């Protein structure tokens, strides 16, 4: 019977776990190919789709979110279904999926952050940047987090795009934020914020910083914050200069020019200051009497070349103390193991080869299990990077289909899978539910002159749908 | 992007061979795994060289008895070792300039992977494709 999977009579049934960009791009590739008839059921732990496009991309970066229009087109396919609010493992374990699908694809992203591994990291006032991001974006799991915005000085550790987002949101004026889709409670809290100085700390030099030029230029155009940098820290060291001469790169040259210009800027009296620091690493957070962060001890770094010519930070003997009451770490992300799915602890991803999940003992592919996105390759690239990534995985899926390497589900009937979901999670959210929520959010936003006003808890969403 | 992002979806362990094994044995391992190079490891699994198809072809061209030679005799000895955090742009540059096709990767004294120049080119291609994809989405939105 499964020999015919992929035909109109018996479509190839694929379960995708995780409704972020990688999951949608995988579904898109599966629907676009011509060799097999495919049906996709997309599961997500949250009632709403889009993963980090909804819960990660900064509220003042609306244009980046326009990619969801392409995702809605994928969802309009007649053989696409969405099961929101249904958690893999808890509601539907892998054994259940094996009974209903020929192939399972995991695209759950990198859900936890790397720690700095320094003393004082868990003091009150020290947070993972991702928690702050999820909070201001209205992620239902994070809406009750507290951040002490009565502090005047904050440090953001890292210079990747998450670090930049956090620093920028802290520096935005309430007027700027009020036109975005930031969560209402976060807007209220940020209105009362007393944060005046924000330090962005890079462990390597300006030429190695991960941020892009549009991101760094945006920091120089904030309505209510002066940006600055230390002249000595934005001059290139010998090694960086030599590397840039060996392989000239316009974007890096431009980045350094922008930072040099920031270092020359005189303060204009805006109410906040954003200070970009390079070649420094936190070595300790110092606590006050009540167990709260009061300062950060930094070591200054120099750069050294590895055997491949890459430049690494190396600590010197020079230290400094930075008084800060709020710390956000953004030094990397890791995937979280899924119940019953092999994990590669070295890289924090599902154990896989080009998207095929591997058995940890034999290192051979596990039949019918695949992965895409950050949980496959680690947290790198932009949203669009997930498209070629998902294409690679889908190519493996189709090759395996051709070879008959598939699961043999006992109940491939789509109605049977829906009965299972209904039994385990009667209050699940369909795509039609999401489209209604989306329309309601946008309508609420229109009244307030904002792109949307988000529902930020599952209860609010149910109430809005009158369920 | 760095080397770790390539190794994350390579999955399999690095295929190695001992320096005292023969070229015939090395060929069998290459064929069995359908790969082009083996990391040669000595005591305590320290990499001491790389033996590639190219090394074997070069030896075969001048020696009828290539198959019974030891790996140590024909391997490339001065191997450049990478680290998981090395930037892909630097790695790509160094591999291209020095004509290195395979780079063993060490993490804290342990051999954790090997990346080929093909892996690096593919990772860079996917990165650019991804950026173009994202830019296109935003531009198309502008026109809408």
Tens-place pLDDT, residues B80-114: 999 999 999 899 999 999 999 999 999 988 999 99
φ/ψ (deg, to 5) at A3: -60, -25
User: Is B85–A387 a contact, with Cβ atoms under 8 angstroms apart?
Assistant: no
CA distance B81 to chain A (A): 6
Residue among A74, A31, A77 nearest A49 (CA): A74
For strand A343-344 and strand B37-41, is the pairing parallel, antiparallel, or unpaired?
unpaired
Residues A209, A215, A217, A221, CA torsion sign = negative
Q: Please state, in angstroms and rounded to a whole number, the distance separating the CA atoms of residues A92 and A45.
A: 11
Contact A206, A234 (CB under 8 A): yes
Q: Are A316 and A322 in contact (CB under 8 A)?
A: no
B142 CB neighbours in chain A (<8 A) are: 63
pLDDT at position B142, please? 54
Ordered domains of chain B (ranges, CATH): 3-143 (3.10.580.10)
CA distance A151 to A140: 25
Instruction: Count CB-CB contacts under 10 A for residue A95.
Output: 8
Strand ranges for A135-251 from DSSP E? 153-157, 197-201, 225-229
A175 alpha-carbon distance from chain centroid: 26
B112 touches chain A (CB under 8 A): yes
The 10s digit of each residue's pLDDT in A223-272 is 999 999 999 999 999 999 998 888 888 999 999 999 999 999 999 999 99
Q: Give the number of other CB atoms < 10 A from CB of residue A136.
A: 28
- Residue contact A386–B13, C-beta within 8 A: no
Chain Cα centroid distance, residue A9: 38
Domain with CATH 3.50.50.60 in chain A: 114-333
Q: Tell me, what DSSP letter sits at residue A244?
A: H
Instruction: Tell me which residue has tokens 């001491």.
Output: B48
pLDDT value at residue B140 = 74
In this prediction, residue B135 carries a pLDDT of: 85
Phi, psi of A147 (to 5 degrees): -130, 130
Residue A23 to residues A30, A41, A82, A162, B110, Cα–Cα distance (Å) = 11, 10, 11, 21, 34
Residue A49 — very low, low, confident or very high, per pLDDT cuts 50/70/90? very high
Domain(s) labelled CATH 3.40.50.720 in chain A stretch across 2-111+335-429
User: For residue A244, which of B93, B81, B143, B49 has the smallest C-alpha distance?
Assistant: B93
Distance CA A400, CA A370 (A): 11
pLDDT at A1: 45
Q: Alpha-carbon torsion A428, A433, A438, A443, what sign?
A: negative
pLDDT at site B12: 76
**Contact assessment for residue A4 and residue A371, using Cβ atoms and an 8 Å cutoff:** no
* Chain-chain contact of B5 with A383 (C-beta, under 8 angstroms): no
Output the pLDDT for position A2. Answer: 43
Alpha carbons A165 and A142: distance in angstroms, whole number: 17
- Taking only the tens place, the pLDDT of each residue in A89-102 is 999 999 999 999 99
Residue A225's closest CA among A167, A178, A282? A167
What backbone torsions phi and psi does residue A326 show, to the nearest 5 degrees? -145, 130
**What distance in Å separates the CA atoms of residue A207 and residue A381, rounded to the nearest whole number?**
18
Distance CA(B93)–CA(B103), nearest Å, equals: 13
Specify whether domain A2-111+335-429 bears CATH 3.40.50.720. Answer: yes
- Which one of A64, A246, A311 has the shortest CB-CB distance to B93? A246
Q: A328 falls in which pLDDT band (50, 70, 90)? A: very high
DSSP string for residues in A379-395? S-S-GGGHHHHHHHHHH
Note the pLDDT tens digit of each residue in A52-70: 999 999 999 999 999 999 9
Tokens of A4: 């015919």
Q: Which percentage of chain A shows pLDDT scores above 70? A: 99
Per-residue pLDDT for A310 more than 90? Answer: yes
DSSP state for residue A429 in the 8-state scheme = B
CA torsion B31-B32-B38-B40 (nearest 10°) is -120
Task: Show the beta-strand stretches assigned E in A309-364.
Answer: 311-322, 326-329, 333-334, 343-344, 349-350, 352-353, 356-358
| Coarse DSSP helix, strand, coil percentages of chain B, rounded to the nearest 5 percent | 50, 20, 30
What's CA A153's distance to the chain center, in Å? 26
Euclidean distance between CA atoms A452 and A443, whole angstroms: 7
Does residue B143 have a pLDDT over 80?
no
User: Which pTM was predicted?
Assistant: 0.94
CA atoms within 13 A on the CB side of A181: 29
- Average pLDDT of chain A to the nearest whole number: 96
Report the half-sphere exposure of A22 (CA within 13 A, side-chain side): 31
Is A352 in contact with B89 (Cβ distance < 8 A)? no
The pLDDT tens digits of the residues spanning A123-147 come to 999 999 999 999 999 999 999 999 9
Section A347-363 average pLDDT = 95
* Complete edge-to-edge strand list for the sheet that includes strand B37-41: B16-17, B37-41, B47-52
Q: Is the pLDDT of residue A369 over 80?
A: yes
Q: Is the pLDDT of residue B139 over 90?
A: no
A114-333: CATH class: alpha beta
- Tell me the pLDDT of chain B averaged across its residues: 91
Give the pLDDT confidence score for residue B144 in this predicted structure.
44
A285-294 per-position pLDDT tens digit? 999 999 999 9
Distance set, CA A341 to CA A22, A114, A182, B4, B101 (Å): 18, 21, 35, 21, 33
Say yes or no for a CB contact (<8 Å) between A67 and B137.
Answer: yes
Dihedral angle computed from the Cα positions of residues A373, A100, A417 and A415, in that order, rounded to the nearest 10 degrees: 130
Cα(B67)–Cα(B63) distance, rounded to whole angstroms?
Answer: 9
Rounded percentage of chain B residues whose pLDDT exceeds 70: 97
pLDDT of residue A223: 96
Kindly provide the ipTM of the predicted complex, given to two decimals: 0.88
CB A4 within 8 A of CB A11: no
**Tens of pLDDT, residues A155-177:** 999 999 999 999 999 999 999 99
Interface test with B, best of A332, A369, A385, A392 (most B CBs within 10 A): A385
Q: Which residues have C-beta within 8 Å of that of residue A390, sequence separation ≥ 6?
A: A22, A25, A26, A28, A29, A107, A372, A373
**Best mutation target, A313, A384, A386, A451, to test chain B (most B CBs within 10 A):** A384
pLDDT at B141: 64
Residues in chain B: 144
Q: Hey, are the CB atoms on B130 and A358 less than 8 Å from each other? A: no
Pairing, β A112-113 against β A333-334: antiparallel
- Which has more confidence, B35 or A193? A193
pLDDT range class, residue A11, cuts 50, 70, 90:
very high
CB A205 within 8 A of CB A279: yes
Taking CA atoms, what residue in A is nearest to B127? A385
User: Does residue B31 sit in helix, strand or coil?
Assistant: helix
Q: What is the mean pLDDT of residues A8-29?
A: 97
Q: What is the mean pLDDT of residues B5-25?
A: 92
């Amino acid at each position: 019977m499964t020999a015919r999977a992929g035909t109109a009579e018996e479509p190839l049934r694929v379960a995708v776990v995780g409704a972020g960009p990688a999951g949608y791009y995988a579904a898109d590739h599966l629907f676009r190919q011509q060799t097999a008839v495919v049906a996709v059921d997309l599961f997500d732990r949250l009632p709403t789709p889009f993963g980090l496009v909804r819960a990660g991309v900064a509220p003042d970066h609306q244009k980046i979110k326009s990619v969801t229009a392409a995702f809605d087109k994928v969802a309009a396919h007649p053989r696409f279904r969405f099961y929101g609010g249904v958690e893999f493992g808890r509601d539907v374990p892998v054994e259940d999926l094996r009974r209903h699908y020929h192939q399972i694809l995991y695209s759950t992203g990198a859900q936890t952050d790397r720690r700095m591994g320094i003393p004082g990291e868990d003091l009150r006032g020290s947070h993972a940047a991702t928690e702050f991001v999820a909070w201001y974006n209205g992620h239902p799991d994070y809406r009750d987090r507290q951040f002490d915005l009565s502090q005047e000085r904050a440090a953001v550790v890292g210079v990747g795009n998450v670090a930049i987002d956090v620093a920028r949101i802290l520096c935005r004026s309430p007027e700027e934020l009020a036109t975005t889709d930031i969560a209402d409670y976060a807007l209220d809290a940020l209105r009362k914020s007393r944060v005046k100085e924000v330090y962005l700390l890079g462990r390597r030099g300006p030429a190695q910083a991960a941020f892009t030029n549009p991101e760094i230029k945006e920091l120089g155009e904030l309505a209510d914050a002066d940006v600055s940098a230390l002249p000595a820290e934005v001059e290139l060291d010998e090694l960086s200069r030599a590397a840039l001469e060996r392989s000239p790169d316009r974007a890096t040259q431009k980045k350094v020019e922008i930072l040099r210009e920031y270092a020359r800027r005189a303060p204009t009296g805006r109410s906040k200051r954003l200070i970009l620091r390079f070649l420094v690493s936190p070595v300790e957070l110092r606590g006050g009497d009540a167990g709260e962060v009061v300062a950060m001890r930094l070591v200054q770094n120099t750069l050294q070349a590895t055997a491949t010519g890459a430049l690494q930070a190396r600590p010197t003997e020079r230290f400094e103390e930075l008084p800060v009451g709020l710390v956000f770490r953004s030094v990397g992300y890791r995937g979280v193991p899924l119940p019953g799915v092999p994990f590669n602890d070295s890289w924090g991803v599902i154990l896989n080869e080009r998207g095929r999940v591997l058995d940890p003992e034999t290192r051979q592919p596990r039949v019918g299990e695949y992965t895409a996105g950050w949980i496959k390759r680690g947290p790198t690239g932009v949203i669009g990077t997930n498209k070629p990534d998902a294409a690679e995985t889908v190519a493996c899926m189709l090759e395996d289909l051709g070879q008959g390497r598939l699961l043999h589900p006992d109940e491939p009937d789509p109605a049977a899978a829906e009965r299972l979901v209904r039994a385990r999670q009667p209050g699940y959210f369909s795509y039609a539910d999401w489209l209604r929520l989306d329309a309601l959010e946008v309508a609420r936003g229109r009244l307030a002159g904002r792109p949307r006003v988000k529902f930020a808890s599952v209860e609010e969403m149910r109430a809005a749908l009158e369920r | 992007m760095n080397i770790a992002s390539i190794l994350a979806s390579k999955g399999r362990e690095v295929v190695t061979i001992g320096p005292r094994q023969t070229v015939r044995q090395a060929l069998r391992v290459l064929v069995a795994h359908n790969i082009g190079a083996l990391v040669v490891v000595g005591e305590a699994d320290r990499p001491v060289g790389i033996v590639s198809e190219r090394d074997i072809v070069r030896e075969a061209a001048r020696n009828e008895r290539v198959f019974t030679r030891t790996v140590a005799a024909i391997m490339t000895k001065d191997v450049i070792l990478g680290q998981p955090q090395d930037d892909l742009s630097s790695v790509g540059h160094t591999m291209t300039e020095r004509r290195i096709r395979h780079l063993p990767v060490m993490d804290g004294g342990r051999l954790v992977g090997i990346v080929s120049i093909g892996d690096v080119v593919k990772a860079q291609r996917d990165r650019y494709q991804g950026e173009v994809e994202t830019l296109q989405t935003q531009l198309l939105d502008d026109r809408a």
